[in-house]
Amino acid sequence: MTDVLSQYSVLSLYSAMAIYAIAFVLFTIELASKATEGKLSAKFPRMAMALTWIAFVLQLAATIMRGLAASRVPWANMYEFSMTGTLIIVAVFLFTNLKWNLRFLGAFITGLVLILLGLAATRYYVEIVPLPPALQSYWLVIHVFVATLATGFFALGFSLSVLQLMQQRREVAVVNGKKTRMVGLVRLPDAVALENYAYRLIIIGFIFWTFTLIAGAIWADKAWGRYWGWDTKEVWTFIIWTIYAGYIHARATRGWRGTRSAILAMVGFGAVMFNFTVVNIFFKGLHAYSGL
Amino acid sequence: MSRPSDHIDEEPTQAPVRNAKLGFTETLRWMWTQLTSMRTALILLLLLAIAAIPGSLLPQRAADPNGVTQYFASNKDLAPVLDKFQLFDVYTSVWFSAIYILLFISLIGCVLPRTKHHWDAMRAKPPRTPSRLSRLPGYTEREFTGVDVERAYASAEKVLKSQGYRVERYERDGEVSVSAERGYLRETGNLVFHFSLIGVLIAVGIGGSLGYSGQRVVVEGQAFSNTLLAYDSFSPGRFFSASSLEPYNITLNKFTTKFEERNANAIGQATDYTASITAQVRGGQPFDTTIKVNEPLGIGDTSVYLLGNGYAPVIKVTNSAGEVVFNDAVPFLPQDKNFTSVGVVKLPDGLAHQLGLIGFFYPTVAEAHGGMKMSTYPDLIDPELTLNVYQGDLGINEGIPKSVYTLDIKKMTKLTGIKTKLPSLEMKPGQSAKLPNGMGTVTFEKVARYASLDVHHDPAQGWVLVFAILAMLGLFTSLFIPRRRMWVSIRAKKKNTIELQYAALARGDDPTLEAAVQRTIDDQIRDLGLTRD
């Protein structure tokens, strides 16, 4: 039963990846093409969004089956964490889209999710094994889940900041009467609006990250006998927190709005990704639960 | 961390421009202004993030002392240089401390005046209505007929009050206006957040200097009492006094482990460790309880954690005359996930020579290619103990404390095992083996398990948590509660018709400002019983 379920989970995940790939192609074509009503490519974003929803449902099914097969939350090793983490990133993207139209982020989000899932499926895959005693805690449910939520919001914030910088270059080029090849950006919100979107998503991520840090400390106190010990993962959680704290302050500092705060948001997400991949795999520390 | 630039009632800063004419006090003031500026705080924050990185790249003495020793061994030239820059103690180093202390001074210098400012703002009336509302965000005009100015004013005041605004009436040139302000909690939250960070820092400092932590290995059947002498290792805080050790005893009755037996991908993986203990506080009744990995025991102001475990073979040594010279459970340190374990027995007295025994213990013994033994499963299926005998000077007569887990073999001769004429002593539980040269007999009586317990006392730990939670709540309100002012200005236009002007102003990021103005208008129309035009 367990074997069958985990096999279906893998199957479902691969299907989701295939559909994400198609959505990614459609999003990208749309982003790179000039806006013209009536052309086929004008329909691409809606098609791509629909495909992303389908892939999301498949990935959700894959994640739930993995959890059922293991009879625990599906985020106890690198493979499962990648699966749940990217699921959350897509969820944050899809649900934010119900409120604001951020479809133009589709190419970035599906691209990122594809890369992470590809890595997870080929490099991080591990069979289902029981939890070691140190992970047997309800804090696994809370601490890790909220960390992935924060990651989802930071990912969106990052992509908006990248677009903000591109848009800003385009706007400057237009003002100076220069030619620009970033024609796809015409239909996007202006740089200031992109920056505001990024800020609103990142502060939500920041609250979740703060919670992750506190919950992690409470759990560390239970499992390792101290709430803070500068373990490598703790160090990087702290670094990420500090970078985003800097970002929030930058938004209220003259001369730091715009380009500089966008760069901080990008550095922050870079650190999040570094923490998730390099620190997990290559650094020595107590958070050695990658299962690799 | 001084007021953000979008602060609406910010006075132009009167920071003196630095030039050669500045006297000493002015220079100090100039430096203080610089230090407490938002830009400095921002740069210090980023510096702190960068300064934390080396501590994750290099082993740290506090978290991984063995890693530091290894690093020194494999990088003989580089390590001392790095050590000079305190790179193995990053988080207590001078430069790291300098950054965060400066950051906190900057923070205090910023939040104190801000608190005063906020205190005044909370007691002040909402400010006079600006004369030209049309320049402000969300500016909207409306005309109502059949309503007089006073009724419109009353309803505007009522609506704004119900939306949580504080209101004040102003009149000018035949215009009556409501000036309203709300969201003081935004700044309150901001200040609570920053003060809580100071609280966290102080609580961490106090807890670290008054607390202590100690480690102790306890074999099944043994007891441990919370006294300085009982610890295998002990690290006190700077202001620790031995009298703060609360007296209690813990006896390890039984240590149970569970290993995965069914899942083919995880055979032998530990799924549970449980230490069954009897504890007793001085003057109290003894009680039975358990300690598990995620479930420490709180006793006498300390927390007792289960952080490790292993096997302790019970070894008896008798000399040639048949006298027992050693009989004890010896904790062996596990070397791999199948608990191949290494331990040491030191026999200073009672034999013809000082002897040291270095032993390997295999809970489930198997022979690899080439005759090397190893354990293939962590539980006791086919346990075996092998011992190598060393003869000579144990080096413990000088009174210098030596680790019970290592044997210094510099002044000793190996008598059994590889590169000697005699094979290692090999025993299953209950079996005996003869020491070389008729010195006596070793008996492997049985195997017990041991638990490695960590005892922590941190009197300020609860405060750290309280401040951390306060910081998070403060952060939440400071980021998500909108601080805004709203004005409704009313004047009579022609017969039976009045004109209303609405406008608002936000402090900080406020995506819903214009929607809020619309809501106020809608609420007022509903309140006046008019229909929307």
Of chain A, the percentage scoring pLDDT greater than 90 comes to 57
At residue B130, what are phi and psi to the nearest 5 degrees? Answer: -60, 150
Looking at chain A, which residue has its C-alpha nearest residue B508?
A252
CA B492, CA B150: separation in Å to the nearest integer? Answer: 10
Q: Which CATH number fits domain A1-129: 1.20.120, 2.60.40, 3.40.720, 3.90.550?
A: 1.20.120
List the Cα angle B34/B36/B40 in 5-degree steps.
65
Cα distances (angstroms) measured from residue A243 to each of A153, A195, A207, A285:
15, 17, 13, 22
Best probe of the A interface among B38, B56, B190, by most A CBs < 10 A, is: B56
Looking at chain B, which residue has its C-alpha nearest residue A195?
B509
CA B195, CA B471: separation in Å to the nearest integer? Answer: 8
CA-based diameter of chain A, in Å? Answer: 66
- Rounded to the nearest angstrom, the minimum Cα separation between B300 and chain A is 16
Number of residue pairs across A and B with CB atoms under 8 Å?
141
Q: Which residue has the higher pLDDT, A143 or B404?
A: A143
Q: Would you state the pLDDT for residue A84?
A: 93
pLDDT reading at B19 higher than 60 = no
Q: Tell me the pLDDT band of B4, cut-offs 50, 70 and 90.
A: very low
Q: Which of B45, B266, B461 sits opposite A130 (nearest CB)?
A: B266
Q: Would you state the pLDDT for residue B161?
A: 95
Which stretch of A41-50, B77-86, B125-134 has the lowest confidence by average pLDDT?
Answer: A41-50
Q: Amino acid identity, residue B212?
A: Y
Q: Tell me the pLDDT band of B10, cut-offs 50, 70 and 90.
A: very low
CA A200, CA A205: separation in Å to the nearest integer? Answer: 9
Q: Amino acid identity, residue B388?
A: N
Q: Would you state the pLDDT for residue B407?
A: 84
pLDDT reading at A12 higher than 70 = yes
**Cα–Cα nearest to A268, from A189, A173, A203, A180:** A203
CA B308, CA B313: separation in Å to the nearest integer? Answer: 16
Residues 6+ apart with CB under 8 A from B140: B501, B502, B503, B517, B518, B521
**Cα–Cα nearest to B522, from B243, B156, B46, B85:** B156
Which stretch of A207-221, A238-252, B35-49, B395-409 has the lowest confidence by average pLDDT?
Answer: B395-409
Which stretch of A34-43, A195-204, B226-235, B363-372 has the lowest confidence by average pLDDT?
Answer: A34-43
pLDDT reading at A234 higher than 60 = yes
Q: Would you state the pLDDT for residue A1?
A: 58
CA A166, CA A149: separation in Å to the nearest integer? Answer: 26
- Whether B204 and chain A come into contact, CB under 8 Å, resolves to yes
- Rounded to the nearest angstrom, the minimum Cα separation between A144 and chain B is 16
Quote the CATH superfamily of domain B126-183+482-528: Kinase associated domain 1, KA1 (3.30.310.80)
Angle formed by the axes of helices B38-52 and B94-123, to 10°?
140
Interchain pair B305, A246: CB under 8 A: no
Q: Which of B60, B305, B468 sits opposite A225 (nearest CB)?
A: B305
Q: Residue B361 gets which letter from DSSP?
A: E
On chain A, the residues whose CB falls within 8 A of the CB of B479 are: 203, 206-207, 248
- Whether B270 and chain A come into contact, CB under 8 Å, resolves to yes
Q: Which of A207, A227, A252 sits opposite B6 (nearest CB)?
A: A252
Which stretch of A129-133, B120-124, B219-223, B399-403 has the lowest confidence by average pLDDT?
Answer: B399-403
List pLDDT tens digits, range A238-257. Answer: 999 999 999 999 988 888 88
Asked whether B243 and B297 are in contact (CB, 8 A), the reply is no
List pLDDT tens digits, range A126-185. Answer: 888 888 888 888 988 899 999 999 999 999 999 999 999 999 998 998 888 887 777 777
Average pLDDT of chain B to the nearest whole number: 89
Highest-confidence segment of A218-222, B199-203, B267-271, B496-500: B199-203
Which stretch of B223-227, B367-371, B458-462 has the lowest confidence by average pLDDT?
Answer: B367-371
- Two structure tokens written together for B61: 């003495």
- Mean pLDDT, range B488-515, rounded to an integer: 88
Domain positions in chain A are 1-129, 131-292
On chain A, the residues whose CB falls within 8 A of the CB of B233 are: none
- Rounded to the nearest angstrom, the minimum Cα separation between A24 and chain B is 30
- Mean pLDDT, range B170-189, rounded to an integer: 92
Q: Which of B55, B213, B465 sits opposite A230 (nearest CB)?
A: B55
> Residues in chain B, how many?
533
Q: Would you state the pLDDT for residue B511?
A: 81
Burial of A273 (0-12, 13-18, 19+ CB in 10 A): middle
Looking at chain A, which residue has its C-alpha nearest residue B460?
A227
Asked whether A124 and A292 are in contact (CB, 8 A), the reply is yes
Q: Which of A132, A196, A283 sits opposite B56 (nearest CB)?
A: A283
pLDDT reading at B495 higher than 90 = no
CA B60, CA A230: separation in Å to the nearest integer? Answer: 9
Asked whether B145 and B497 are in contact (CB, 8 A), the reply is yes
Q: Would you state the pLDDT for residue B442?
A: 94
Interchain pair B4, A253: CB under 8 A: yes
Quote ipTM for the complex.
Answer: 0.89
Angle formed by the axes of helices A78-99 and A145-175, to 10°?
50
Q: Amino acid identity, residue A221?
A: D
Q: Would you state the pLDDT for residue B421?
A: 84
Q: Please report the residues numbered 44 through 83 in chain A whose beta carbons come closer than 8 angstroms to any beta carbon of chain B.
A: none
Q: Would you state the pLDDT for residue B352?
A: 83
- Mean pLDDT, range A39-43, rounded to an integer: 69
Residues of chain B with CATH 3.30.310.80: 126-183+482-528
CA B69 remoteness from chain centre? 25
**Cα–Cα nearest to A10, from A71, A83, A115, A114:** A83
List pLDDT tens digits, range B285-344. Answer: 999 999 998 899 999 889 999 989 999 999 999 998 889 999 999 999 999 889 999 999
- Mean pLDDT, range B194-215, rounded to an integer: 93
Give the up-direction half-sphere exposure of residue B403: CA atoms within 13 A in the CB hemisphere. Answer: 9
Residues 6+ apart with CB under 8 A from A32: A184
- Whether B355 and chain A come into contact, CB under 8 Å, resolves to no
Q: Which of B42, B55, B511 sits opposite A235 (nearest CB)?
A: B55
List the Cα angle A154/A157/A159 in 5-degree steps.
110
Burial of B5 (0-12, 13-18, 19+ CB in 10 A): middle
CA A223, CA A230: separation in Å to the nearest integer? Answer: 15
Residue by residue, what is the 3-state secondary structure of A129-150? CCCCHHHCCHHHHHHHHHHHHH
- Mean pLDDT, range A3-21, rounded to an integer: 93
- Rounded to the nearest angstrom, the minimum Cα separation between B504 and chain A is 19
- Whether A288 and chain B come into contact, CB under 8 Å, resolves to no
Helix (H, G, I), strand (E, B) or coil at B342: strand
Which stretch of A196-210, B174-188, B235-249, B472-486 has the lowest confidence by average pLDDT?
Answer: B235-249
Q: Would you state the pLDDT for residue B5?
A: 37
Q: Which of B1, B91, B479 sits opposite A230 (nearest CB)?
A: B91
Q: Would you state the pLDDT for residue A292?
A: 59
Interchain pair A225, B472: CB under 8 A: no
CA B513, CA B504: separation in Å to the nearest integer? Answer: 7
Interchain pair B260, A129: CB under 8 A: yes
Q: Please report the residues numbered 36 through 75 in chain B whose beta carbons come closer than 8 angstroms to any beta carbon of chain A.
A: 38-39, 41-42, 45-46, 48-49, 52-53, 55-56, 59-60, 62-64, 67
Interchain pair A137, B294: CB under 8 A: yes
- Rounded to the nearest angstrom, the minimum Cα separation between A72 and chain B is 13
At residue B138, what are phi and psi to the nearest 5 degrees? Answer: 70, 15
- Mean pLDDT, range B397-412, rounded to an integer: 77
Interchain pair A246, B49: CB under 8 A: yes
Interchain pair B454, A225: CB under 8 A: yes
Interchain pair B271, A132: CB under 8 A: yes
Interchain pair A218, B476: CB under 8 A: no
Best probe of the A interface among B34, B45, B478, by most A CBs < 10 A, is: B45
- Whether A224 and chain B come into contact, CB under 8 Å, resolves to yes
Q: Would you state the pLDDT for residue B65?
A: 83
Q: Using CA of residue B26, residue B32, residue B38, residue B42, what is the dihedral sign?
A: positive
pLDDT reading at A231 higher than 60 = yes
Q: Tell me the pLDDT band of A288, cut-offs 50, 70 and 90.
A: low
- Two structure tokens written together for B216: 């102790």
Q: Please report the residues numbered 243 through 282 in chain A whose beta carbons come closer than 8 angstroms to any beta carbon of chain B.
A: 243, 245-246, 248-256, 264, 279
Best probe of the A interface among B192, B293, B309, B453, by most A CBs < 10 A, is: B293
Cα distances (angstroms) measured from residue B344 to each of A40, B207, B315, B359, B445:
78, 37, 11, 6, 16
Q: Please report the residues numbered 123 through 182 in chain B whose beta carbons come closer than 8 angstroms to any beta carbon of chain A.
A: none
Which stretch of A63-67, B228-232, B443-447 has the lowest confidence by average pLDDT?
Answer: B228-232
- pTM: predicted TM-score of the whole model, two decimal places: 0.88
Best probe of the A interface among B46, B99, B290, B458, by most A CBs < 10 A, is: B46
